[in-house]
């Protein structure tokens, strides 16, 4: 257990004991949060099947967002604690399977809706998630374990954000990268390819499925190119695939035809995000403090999330000027994020004394 980064595990004496010692996944074993995310997602889809008014739909959306937050908050920590040396491989496979499954879901969505209707589709999804929840509950167990930290709750939050220099570089460059990426994602690709090339719903759906597969399938084997990249300095290893994404997005609106546009566009995931996402997650885990790993991880995630939050609004404003402009802005900002990483990320693991409380 010490090798996996789990120290002095004991049975919990109740929620009060857990809360007094430390917050969330740094104290309570990460398994309950992962299992809870499945239950919340199942409940969300079940409520969505009954969504005949805005408030019901709003409730379903909140539950689904909570499920996503719970899952994302602990997955990296869980995988890193299970095996540090094979984190990239395990994370790549797990995340690759998730994105590939999403692509399969996109491909089947039309058929499911046609056979079962929207309500039936949500009910089926809710049932599948509930089944996975039950299997996870049996297989992983709601163990309710606590990790005895070296610091109290008060000392953890007293020092402000308490991130070391390397985590701040990854967080702030990540916020920039998130903003740039979201400028050309979400509603922008369907809107762009429909307006520019007049695609119908079937072709557009196939293209969006291909987009998801271009991230999921290569990520299953991303640990192989990452192994080669690790021969380079950490800053270069992380900056290179981000540069590939930036160039790909920047080139897309200059394509003379649909096939060329697709060929320019897909490498942003195929050779870019499928590689830098696992690699950056490993770097984040390497720089986290052992007894506040979950807290540090989610501080970085919060900065990145806030960076991307205004992007959809900005994308809509920019797209009104020119439908290809979001891709150009996206590519330039992504390249700026890559340059920031190359110049300022050192890849060194700072000592506790070098924590920067901003």
DSSP state, residue 118: H
What pLDDT was estimated at residue 349?
57
What pLDDT was estimated at residue 83?
81
pLDDT digits (tens, 9 = 90+) for 304-316: 989 999 999 999 9
- Which of 19, 1, 12 minimizes the C-alpha distance to 142? 12
pLDDT digits (tens, 9 = 90+) for 175-195: 999 999 999 998 999 999 999
Rounded distance between C-alpha atoms, residue 164 and residue 188, angstroms: 36
- 183 and 311 in contact (C-beta within 8 Å)? yes
The pTM of the whole model exceeds 0.75: yes
Three-class SS string for 131-187?
HHHHHHHHHCCCCCEEECCCCCHHHHHHCCCCEEHHHHHHHHHHHHHHHHHHHCCCC
- 305 and 275 in contact (C-beta within 8 Å)? no
* pLDDT block averages, 10 residues each, the chain of length 358: 33 35 47 85 89 82 86 84 87 90 79 82 89 82 47 46 89 97 94 93 86 93 94 96 98 97 97 96 92 88 92 95 96 98 83 45
- 156 and 292 in contact (C-beta within 8 Å)? yes
- 296 and 110 in contact (C-beta within 8 Å)? no
């Amino acid at each position: 257990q010490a090798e996996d980064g789990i120290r002095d595990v004991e049975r919990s004496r109740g929620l009060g004991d857990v809360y007094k010692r430390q917050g969330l996944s740094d104290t309570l074993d990460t398994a309950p949060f992962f299992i809870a995310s499945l239950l919340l997602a199942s409940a969300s889809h079940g409520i969505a099947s009954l969504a005949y008014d805005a408030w019901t739909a709003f409730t379903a959306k909140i539950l689904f967002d909570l499920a996503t937050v719970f899952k994302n908050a602990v997955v990296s920590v869980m995988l890193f604690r299970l095996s540090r040396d094979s984190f990239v491989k395990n994370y790549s496979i797990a995340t690759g399977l998730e994105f590939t499954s999403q692509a399969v879901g996109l491909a089947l969505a039309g058929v499911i809706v046609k056979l079962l209707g929207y309500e039936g589709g949500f009910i089926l999804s809710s049932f599948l998630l509930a089944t996975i929840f039950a299997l996870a509950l049996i297989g992983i167990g709601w163990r309710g374990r606590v990790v005895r930290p070296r610091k109290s709750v008060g000392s953890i939050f007293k020092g402000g954000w308490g991130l070391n220099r390397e985590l701040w570089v990854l967080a702030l460059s990540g916020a920039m990268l998130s903003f740039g990426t979201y400028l050309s994602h979400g509603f922008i690709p369907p809107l762009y390819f429909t307006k520019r090339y007049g695609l119908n719903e079937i072709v557009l759906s196939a293209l969006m499925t291909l987009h998801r597969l271009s991230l999921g399938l290569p990520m299953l084997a991303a640990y192989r190119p990452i192994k080669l990249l690790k021969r380079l300095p950490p800053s270069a290893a992380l900056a290179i695939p981000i540069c590939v994404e930036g160039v790909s997005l920047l080139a897309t609106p200059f394509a003379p035809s649909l096939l060329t546009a697709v060929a320019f566009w897909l490498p942003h995931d195929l050779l870019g995000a499928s590689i830098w996402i696992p690699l950056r997650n490993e770097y984040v885990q390497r720089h986290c403090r052992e007894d506040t790993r979950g807290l540090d991880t989610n501080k970085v995630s919060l900065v990145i999330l806030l960076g991307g939050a205004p992007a959809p609004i900005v994308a809509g404003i920019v797209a009104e000027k020119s439908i290809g402009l979001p891709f150009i802005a996206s590519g330039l900002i992504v390249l700026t994020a890559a340059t920031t990483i190359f110049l300022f990320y050192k890849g060194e693991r700072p000592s506790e004394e070098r924590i920067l409380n901003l």
